Each structure stands twice: as C-alpha cells, then as structure tokens.
Amino acid sequence: MVSLELARTVVGIIGNIIALFLFLSPLPTFVGIWKKGSVEQFSAIPYLATLVNCLVWVLYGLPAVHPGSILVITINGAGTLIELVYIVLFFVFSDRKKRVKLVLVLLVELVFITLLSLVVLLFFHTHTKRSMVVGTICILFNIGMYASPLSVMKLVITTKSVEYMPLSLSIASFANGVAWSIYACLPFDPYILIPNGLGTLFGLAQLILYGSYYKSTKLQKAEREGKGQVILSEVITNGSKDHSWKKEGLEGEVHGA
C-alpha cells in the first residue's frame, strides 16, 4: 500500500513540473524582446509580482516556518531564479525611465521580504504561528495574482473569442491547481489549498469558456480570412481590367498609326 508521504511526494513532483512549465511560458515574449532589442509596450509588473509571490512561498516552505515543505521551496526557488532572469532582460532592453521604476519596485520587494522574514523568525516562536502569518500573506498575494486570468476571461466573453487565451496554458493552470490542491490534502494544509483551490476553479472556468467560444472563434477567423480573400480577389480583378484597358488602348494607337 502506498504511504501518505510517498503519495504527497509524487503529487508534489508533478506539481513542480507543471508549475515550471507555467514559469517558462513567457519565454517566447522574451525571445521577441531580445530580437527586437526593446521591451516596447510590455510591462515588468507581472514578473515583479510573480517574483515576490515566489519569495513569500520560499519563506513559507523553510523548515523554520513550515517543516516538510521541500517541494514548495524547490519550485518557488526555481520560479524566483526564472523571474530574476526575466527582470534582468527587461532591465537591459528598457529605457532609463522604465529602469528606474523597475529598480525601485524591486528594492521595495526585497525590503518587504527581508522585514517579513525578520518579524516572523524573531517575534513568532512556533511553527504554527509562523505558518499562519506567512501562509495568510501567501494567500493574499495569490488571490491578487488571479486578477490576470479574470481580465483574460472578461476579454473572451466580450469578444466571444479565445484567440488570446491559449488552450495549453489554460490546461496547465487547471492541472497545476489540481496537483497542488491534492498535495495540500496530504496532509491538510489550508494555506496551500485555498489559493490552489481557487486556481483550480479559475482554470476550470477558462476551459469551460474555451469550449463555449471555440466555434465562434473559428467562425471569426474564417470571416477574417474570407474578407482578406475577397479584397485580394478585387485587387487581382481590378489589376486585370487595368491591364486589359491599357492593352486595348495600345492596340488602338497602333491601328491609328
């Protein structure tokens, strides 16, 4: 019979793999930034928000705060490194004004996480109290990050199109929420379960929206392509008429001579 600890470890490893995919999903954006040599209109806020979220979860997983959470540390430690790489690239390819804002926000985040660590470790002397303080902050941060999926879902409903909501990311978000929700039940951990339970619901809602608006998206694409073909046909037809007219005019000139 599979032990509870083994089951938790397996689910946690699966959660690490899925979450790593989500952390790496912005890579195409940064490849484009690298090629263009500019961040253009992209914002660093999502990466800064993810960074501080990862840092808080790393603090939560420390043995001094919440023992037995090594898999929470591994994925959020990896996420911290990945987000730092994104932020460095954003800094390199930004103008001076954006660089100043980036550095200021980054400093605020580092000061925040340092003060939080000191307060938790110096003023709270049990794992239960430390887990409660850091876990509550983790929940608040995660709920704040759900604003992004909500805006995308609103766009889908408004446009009746899932063009800007990739299916692979929706599936990964849902699977990530499921994996970590199961992990949080082996044994019960409300601070991991609450944000990931919400993540599961948001992921499921995205999949339902995708199924609801998949056909209308295909119709919109077909309509756009159809309009493009009509316009191209008109250009070709007009071009042929012009060519025929010029040819007839030329022949008239020859006959008149």
164 domain residue, yes or no: yes
pLDDT of residue 65: 96
Query: How far apart (Å, rounded) are the C-alpha atoms in residues 35 and 199?
Result: 33
Identify the domain containing residue 44 by its residue range. 1-217
Give me the torsion for CA of 43, 134, 140, 42, rounded to 10°: 10
Tracing tokens 């756009």 back to the chain, one arrives at: 224
pTM for this predicted structure: 0.80
Q: Examine the pLDDT at 241 and tell me if it is beyond 50.
A: no
* 42-56, 115-129, 149-163: range with highest mean pLDDT: 115-129
Mean pLDDT of the region 16-40: 90
131 close to 53: Cβ distance less than 8 angstroms: no
As a whole number, the mean pLDDT across the chain is 85
Q: How confident is the model at residue 17 (pLDDT cuts 50, 70, 90)?
A: very high
Within-domain flag for 205: yes
How many domains does the chain contain in total?
1
In a domain, 243, yes or no: no
In a domain, 213, yes or no: yes
* pLDDT 10s digits, 135-189: 999 999 888 777 677 778 888 888 888 887 888 888 988 999 999 999 999 889 9
Which residues 6+ apart lie within 8 Å of 168 measured at CB?
none
In a domain? residue 226: no
The reported pLDDT for the residue numbered 225 is 76
The pLDDT score that the predictor gives to residue 1 is 53
In a domain, 169, yes or no: yes
